[in-house]
């Protein structure tokens, strides 16, 4: 199939070109992010490949459908960016990569925890300036802490296994309780209990209408003073304004995020020569106890290989009229 590939980065091209010899597909790589205007680039193609911040609401979907596009292959697990109702009406099939090295994201979440708890990012900068003082670098142990995990899907389960290795008590909230996690010693509980008893809270749930702003002004009142909050899932899980207020009051002691509510026009770009127009992320960056990475938790060689292979398999299955095992349905 002829596939228009949007939001292309160097690592995307390298990982897909590595696997392309095994598949009879032709890919046109475009750096442009998919939106209503750039959708015209898909002309003369049969499918498109999109990522997390590509716009897949009604308007661009209509442009794609008018050009004969039949398949949208998401090279990510989340699909909250897709208007599924509009896609169904336009007879557009949606496929995704439901799991790609969940350990990659789980390990990054723990990297944020360890960096914040031991202030290694600050120590690194000091030593490079020949400052070997330890003042202000006192950290805290992870061992023995209670960690609250919201969402025990593939990534959440990988995170729990790491937390278990650190000797933590693990509380979890999920609408489906996983037997494997229970046997590991994970304690399922209510959100209220998780918020009130956890020293560290890590988010690993999808963004849905039910989970949108699950961290908000009300829920933040329930957390322990000085709690660490980690988000490597979706930015919309956190109400940023309320988190900034909680940081100012000391209610949140540490914040580590790899995703951001308004990341669409920020992440995956080099904006170092520009003035940031987003006042909320600019404010977050002023806090000494906040660590932000630019949606890189997925970015490992192993994960990129799995994303490429699964995406190409999804496209082949559609072309050959096989069952779409990774189809997203309304």
Range of the domain at 43: 2-100+300-319
Residues 184 and 271 in one domain: yes
Domain assignment present for 45: yes
Specify whether 260 is located in the same domain as 208: yes
pLDDT exceeds 90 at position 27: yes
The predicted-structure confidence for 186-231, as pLDDT tens digits, reads as follows 999 999 999 999 999 999 999 999 999 999 999 999 999 999 999 9
**Structure tokens belonging to residue 7:** 């939001």
Distances (CA, A) of 87 to 3, 11, 62, 218, 253: 18, 29, 8, 35, 42
What's the average model confidence in pLDDT over 259-282? 94
Q: Is the pLDDT of residue 99 over 90?
A: no
Q: 92: which residues sit within 8 A by CB, 6+ positions away?
A: 61, 64, 65, 69, 70, 71, 72
Same domain, 138 and 287: yes
Under the banding of pLDDT at 50, 70 and 90, the label for residue 94 is: very high
Tokens 């699909």 belong to which residue? 79
Same domain, yes or no: 214 and 70: no
Same domain for 95 and 143: no
For the annotated catalytic residues, the residue numbers are: 234, 263, 295
In a domain, 330, yes or no: no
Assigned domain for 167 exists = yes
Q: Looking at the structure, tell me whether residues 186 and 284 fall in a common domain.
A: yes
Q: Are residues 246 and 131 in the same domain?
A: yes
283 within some domain: yes
pLDDT tens readout for residues 224-265: 999 999 999 999 999 999 999 999 999 999 999 999 999 988
Same domain, 126 and 233: yes
In a shared domain, residues 106 and 202: yes
Residue 159 maps to which CATH number? 3.40.50.720
Going by pLDDT thresholds of 50, 70 and 90, the confidence category of residue 60 is very high
To which residue do tokens 């496209």 refer? Answer: 315
Do 91 and 130 fall into the same domain? Answer: no
326 belongs to a structural domain: no
Residue 324 lies in a domain: no
Residue 325 lies in a domain: no
Q: Are residues 199 and 260 part of one domain?
A: yes
Q: Please write the tens of the pLDDT for every residue from 63-91.
A: 999 999 999 999 998 898 999 999 999 99
Our count of domains for the chain comes to 2
289 near 262, Cβ under 8 Å? no
Asked if residue 146 and residue 262 are part of one domain, the reply reads yes
Q: Which two tokens stand for residue 1?
A: 């199939």
- Give CA–CA dist 18/310, Å, rounded: 13
Residues 130-186 have pLDDT tens digits of 999 999 999 999 999 999 999 999 999 999 999 999 999 999 999 999 999 999 999
């Amino acid at each position: 199939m002829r596939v228009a590939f949007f939001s292309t980065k160097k690592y995307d091209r390298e990982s897909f070109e590595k696997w392309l010899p095994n598949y009879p597909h032709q890919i046109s790589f475009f750096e442009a992010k998919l939106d209503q205007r750039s959708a015209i680039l898909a002309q003369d193609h049969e499918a498109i490949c999109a990522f997390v911040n590509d716009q897949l609401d009604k308007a661009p979907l209509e442009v794609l459908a008018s050009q004969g596009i039949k398949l949208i292959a998401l090279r990510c697990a989340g699909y909250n960016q897709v208007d599924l109702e509009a896609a169904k009406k336009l007879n557009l099939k949606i496929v995704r990569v439901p799991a790609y090295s969940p350990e990659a994201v789980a390990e990054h979440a723990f990297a944020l925890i360890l960096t914040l708890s031991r202030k290694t990012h600050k120590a690194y900068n000091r030593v490079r300036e020949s400052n070997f003082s330890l003042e202000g670098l006192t950290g805290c142990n992870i061992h023995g802490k209670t960690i609250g995990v919201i969402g025990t899907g593939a990534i959440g389960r990988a995170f729990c296994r790491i937390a278990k290795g650190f000797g933590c008590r693990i509380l979890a909230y999920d609408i489906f309780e996983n037997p494997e996690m229970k046997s590991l010693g994970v304690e399922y509980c209510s959100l209220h209990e998780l918020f009130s008893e956890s020293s560290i809270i890590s988010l690993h749930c999808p963004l849905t209408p039910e989970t949108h702003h699950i961290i908000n002004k009300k829920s933040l009142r329930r957390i322990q003073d000085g709690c660490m909050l980690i988000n490597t899932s979706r930015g919309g899980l956190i109400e940023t304004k309320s988190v900034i207020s909680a940081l100012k009051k000391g209610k949140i002691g540490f914040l580590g995020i790899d995703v951001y509510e308004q990341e669409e026009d920020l992440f995956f770009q080099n904006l170092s020569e520009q003035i940031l127009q987003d006042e909320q992320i600019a404010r977050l960056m002023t806090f000494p106890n906040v660590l932000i990475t630019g949606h890189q938790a997925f970015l490992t060689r192993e994960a990129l290989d799995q994303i490429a292979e699964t995406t190409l398999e999804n496209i082949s299955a559609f072309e050959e009229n096989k069952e779409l095992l990774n189809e997203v349905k309304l």
